[in-house]
Structure 1
């Protein structure tokens, strides 16, 4: 005779998995071993601790049957983004068009600083190379060389198909989001990667709220042996809450040499015997990058506290 308690225990088996979609209070969890999708609710304690499970979270959950369960515990996150609200992202594809709109180095550097601050590896994709005018080629090469020399992974391709082929090795075994300013081609890229989503690509249609892709939730999709979020990320960022003293940590070329500065906590602005300023004078740090550093430093310094 079967013990009823055995059946109850079977119904409450514990599993681990990853949240791949969150919608209307439900969390869709992909179980680690079987890859089965369970529809779950978060246990009440998360409300008491003001903790919200995020898409991308690895969790422990109990299954009350073969399809439904309860999220019991959120496992430690190694990264967390606000827009889109995704956890455990490894890579962000930062799209920067070389024309329409042209590259804005200060905006590009803001994105890079934000991604560095949340422990997400940036990969820069310079889009629309096929539309670039010949007179702009030298400037485009300067930007490509600048960020390559800093140590960032840079994807350069003249066609979307070629770019997607290069993306395969980057996404494999990783979770990726796509970010960048409006109009650079994020939605076009996602529509090619995930056919059928029909994410709006025109700025006018987006502002009017037209188009077939009206879903506002974020979902992770399997692609190239990894996962990608089906959202074009964000086009603006708020970084004025960063610590200005830590800002140089988010510029890899500064981070590599700042221990050589004479003063601990050097801001690399006014102090003498500053390794960063010496590298700038020697041409080892690009002026555009240093200008971005100064602008962001001033923004943080002048920011009003947020409560």
Structure 2
């Protein structure tokens, strides 16, 4: 049997891409497959070509994950698209997204777009932010979809992955997908009145970057709450830099407990005060805890 990937799933239509033929076929699932599970974009399927247009789906490979928003299976990476301005950088939203996707088992890649809009002073401030996230253990890229700076480097890092995009409206997610795929996808300029983008993407499709690399254009989050996905006691496990430090208590929440390695690291400047404050905001703790230990 041949192996394909579902790149389109809308209503009863299933689009299956076969790399050998470099072509998308209409997938026709056998009844035994339909009884097994609902087929989603990102599913790897096995079957046979019936004719020039059709592919009989005989089986589905076991998924490694299934995201609900967007509904895509087997996602390897999420490009968390940010901007320093237009719209202004929101580190609280970013930290929520990083926590949620780490929890879901998807590797976050931070992408700062629109660097062509920055002056030298803003570029320095952005680099300070980037250093915080690199030190925390994240992959970070600086790009411009307008000048195409950094696009090729980012594209090379994605080879062999199923990718989704996330981030605030107006950050240039559709423009980035267009640059990575070579397709002209619908984009929306940032509203001059609100400095925020108006969401334009209405359909989730997996677009081909290469024969084994696919990306979905997805709705942007204007807000996300990590506690919708997990218990507040779990959040500390998804601030990557926290995991480097030992505490007196194994279940330390890094808030009011004594002999906390994380709070000591914040005090020494080894962990970003802003990241620690965002951690407290996510778990809805009093921010005065940070004020007592943060430098400055």
Normalised-by-shorter TM-score class: 0.7 to 0.9
**Which piece of structure 1 moves more, 284-293 or 148-157?**
148-157
Q: CA deviation at 1:55?
A: 0.7
After superposition, what is the alpha-carbon deviation per residue over 1:45-86, rounded to whole angstroms, capped at 9, x for unaligned? Answer: 67767x432111112345555643444443222233222221
Bigger Rg, structure 1 or 2: 1
What is residue 3 of structure 1 aligned with on the other side? none
In 2: Cα distance, 1:290 partner to 1:199 partner: 37
**Helix, strand or coil at the partner of 1:161:** coil
Indicate conservation of the 8 Å contact 1:91/1:175, yes or no: yes
Please state if 1:23 is matched with 2:10.
yes
What are structure 2's unaligned runs of at least 5 residues? 192-196, 286-296
The one-character-per-residue Cα deviations of 1:240-268 (angstroms, maximum 9, x if unpaired) are 231222212211111233xx222222211
TM-score (norm 1): 0.78
1:140–1:207 distance in 2 versus 1, CA, 3 Å:
closer
Aligned length: 278
Residue 107 in 1 paired to residue 93 in 2?
yes
Counterpart of 2:75 in structure 1 is 89
Q: List gaps (5 residues or longer) in structure 1.
A: 1-13, 300-307
**For the residues of structure 2 that align with 1:35 and 1:196, how far apart are their CA atoms?**
16
Distance 2:22 2:182 in 1: 22
Which residue of 1 is the match for residue 151 of structure 2?
Answer: 164
CA distance, structure 2, for counterparts of residue 35 and residue 198 of structure 1: 21
Instruction: Determine if contact 2:9/2:15 at 8 Å carries over to the other structure.
Output: yes
Is 1:76 aligned to residue 62 of structure 2?
yes
Alpha-carbon contact 1:171-1:226 (below 8 Å) kept:
no
Q: What is the DSSP-based 3-state SS (H/G/I as helix, E as strand, rest coil) of the residue aligned with 1:278?
A: helix
Q: In 1, distance between residues paired with 2:96 and 2:136?
A: 15
Cα distance, 1:203–1:277 mapped onto 2, change above 3 Å: same
Q: SS of the residue aligned with 2:109? A: strand
Deviation at 1:138, TM superposition (A): 4.0
Q: Among residues 222, 226, 239, which one is paired with 1:251 in the alignment?
A: 239
TM-score of the pair, normalised by structure 2: 0.81
User: Aligned residue for 2:256?
Assistant: 270
| 1:123-272 superposed matches below 5 A | 123-157=109-143, 160-202=147-189, 216-224=202-210, 226-236=212-222, 237-239=224-226, 240-257=228-245, 260-272=246-258
